């Protein structure tokens, strides 16, 4: 088997099993590289061969981790959606107790933090257009998330916490537009960390820019 890099890599990994942090790459690394490549080239234009090349490994070593690029896409979208859905769950958005405006503020702040923490994953999610079953399923979950945030905007509207002169549907869309734009221009490592960005975003959304 000498000289067969593919087999050598896979063997190395198998040997390292049980202590995956020491392996030359693990599923997390594979996923990070896959997501970066999907975002750069587009999912359709990215093959398992390209990913193997980027990782400096072989296709067969990659197949040790995943069944194919479809699984990588599914895992990546699931990670972004799972984090966003967890924010909604944590907000107690499903029960009807408590102040809807406070829950909305919690969700907006949490969504900004997820965008920053999972920037490439959410970027991928926001570019999904529904060309495959995996993408259509992700779009369905994304619409469900948007719908639940919209319901929160409506509830805050109904309880009188939000201005009565603004339509909740338009308000929700403008809010998502502002928050989702963060993936286009925010780069981690600058002067503004995730918490400061979340504060600024929520503050603009709820209180506006005008000095009083």
Q: Which residues bind its own copies (CB under 8 A)?
A: 101, 160-167, 170-171, 173-182, 184-186, 192, 197, 200-201, 203-212
Comparing CB distances to its own copies, the nearer of 48 and 178 is: 178
Residues whose CB is less than 8 angstroms from the CB of residue 111 and which lie 6 or more positions away in sequence, other chains included: 84, 87, 149, 179
Residue number with CB closer to its own copies (16 or 168): 168
Which of 1, 209 has the CB closer to its own copies?
A: 209
> First and final CA of the chain: distance in angstroms?
74
| Nearer to its own copies (CB atom), residue 86 or residue 200 | 200
65 exposed, middle or buried (CB, 10 Å; 0-12, 13-18, 19+)?
A: buried
- Comparing CA positions, the residue from 29, 32, 67 lying closest to residue 48 is 67
Q: For the CB of residue 60, give the shortest distance to its own copies in the complex, in Å.
A: 33
Write down the least CB distance from residue 128 to its own copies, Å: 13
Q: How far is the CB of 4 from its own copies (least distance, A)?
A: 38
Place of tokens 């995730």: 194
| Neighbouring C-beta atoms of residue 87, cutoff 10 Å | 20
Residue 35 CB, nearest approach to its own copies (Å): 19
């Amino acid at each position: 088997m000498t000289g067969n890099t593919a087999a050598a890599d896979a063997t190395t990994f198998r040997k390292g099993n049980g202590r995956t942090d020491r392996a030359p790459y693990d599923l997390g690394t594979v996923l990070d590289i896959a997501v970066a490549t999907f975002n750069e080239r587009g999912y359709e234009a990215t093959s398992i061969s390209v990913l193997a090349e980027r990782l400096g490994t072989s296709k067969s070593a990659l197949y040790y981790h995943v069944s194919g690029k479809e699984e990588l896409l599914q895992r990546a979208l699931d990670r972004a959606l799972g984090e966003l859905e967890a924010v909604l769950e944590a907000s107690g958005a499903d029960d009807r107790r408590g102040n809807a405006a406070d829950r909305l503020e919690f969700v907006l702040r949490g969504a900004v933090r997820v965008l920053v923490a999972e920037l490439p994953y959410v970027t991928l999610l926001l570019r999904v257009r529904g060309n495959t079953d995996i993408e259509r399923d992700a779009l369905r979950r994304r619409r469900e998330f948007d719908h639940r945030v919209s319901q929160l905007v409506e509830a805050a509207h109904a309880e009188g916490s939000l201005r009565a002169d603004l339509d909740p549907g338009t308000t929700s869309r403008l809010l998502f537009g502002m928050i989702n734009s963060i993936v286009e221009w925010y780069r981690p490592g600058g002067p503004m960390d995730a918490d400061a960005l979340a504060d600024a975003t929520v503050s603009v959304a709820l209180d506006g820019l005008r000095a009083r």
